[in-house]
Copies of this chain bind each other. A is one copy, B any other.
Amino acid sequence: MTATVQRSPRNGVDVPTLFATLDAVKGAPEIAQFQFRAHNEWVSGTHSRSVIQGFYGAGQEDTSRTDPFAFDADHPAVLVGSNQGPTPVEFLLHAIATCLTAGLANIAAARGITLRRVSSTVEGDIDLLGVFGLSEVARNGYRQIRVHFDVEGDASPEELAALVEQSRRRSAVYDVLVNGTDVQIDVSTPVKPS
């Protein structure tokens, strides 16, 4: 048996370039070192705004994003916010859905499977007694996150489900959400000259 690798564009994925990129990384593993960044400014109350644009990767600063991306976050009214954006924890749900979906499309293309539709619904259960400091047992974060995928494409149900499983195995966001990572925080308190 020979593994079949499809090298034609599919699902909007430039498969030849994808494989060329993998080959380039195999030849120079140091180009796989990336640093992503976000800059946030507090607006008022629980409302703040992040700007995301530059990152380091493939041996250089990226300049391909000509315009910055900007996102607001806030608490809802019931949590004494002003609804200027989703809550921070909802962005975690967006992150896991988009990471798994991007991987799924890449893997499907590499396997020669044409996708018709991929949608997902993510739910996260959280007991805010933790955040409120009102419980000795409730954690601050989500107790559980559930991701439900609907995948339609030109392959058997087993092959379509296997795309999600392989995407999970290679997902950066899944890894962080399940296994955690090192988070370091430091603070400067600039004093304005009088």
Contacts and interface: CB of A to CB of B under 8 A. Distances in A.
B131 A80 contact: no
Contacts of A127: 32-34
Nearest to A177: B183
Contacts of A104: 42
Contacts of A94: 38, 40, 50, 52, 71, 73, 88, 91
Nearest to A73: B98
Give the residue among A43, A99, A138 with the most B Cβ atoms within 10 A.
A99
Interface of A: 11-14, 17-18, 21-22, 25-26, 29, 32-48, 50, 52, 55, 57-58, 62, 64-65, 69, 71, 73-83, 85-102, 104-106, 115, 117-135, 138-152, 157, 160-161, 164, 168, 170-192
Contact of A89 (B33, B58, B172): B172
A145 B187 contact: no
B71 A34 contact: no
A119 B49 CA distance: 10
B185 A100 contact: yes
Contacts of A174: 140-141, 183
A185 B173 CA distance: 13
B40 A141 contact: no
Nearest to A116: B192
Contact of A86 (B52, B138, B160): B52
A38 B89 CA distance: 11
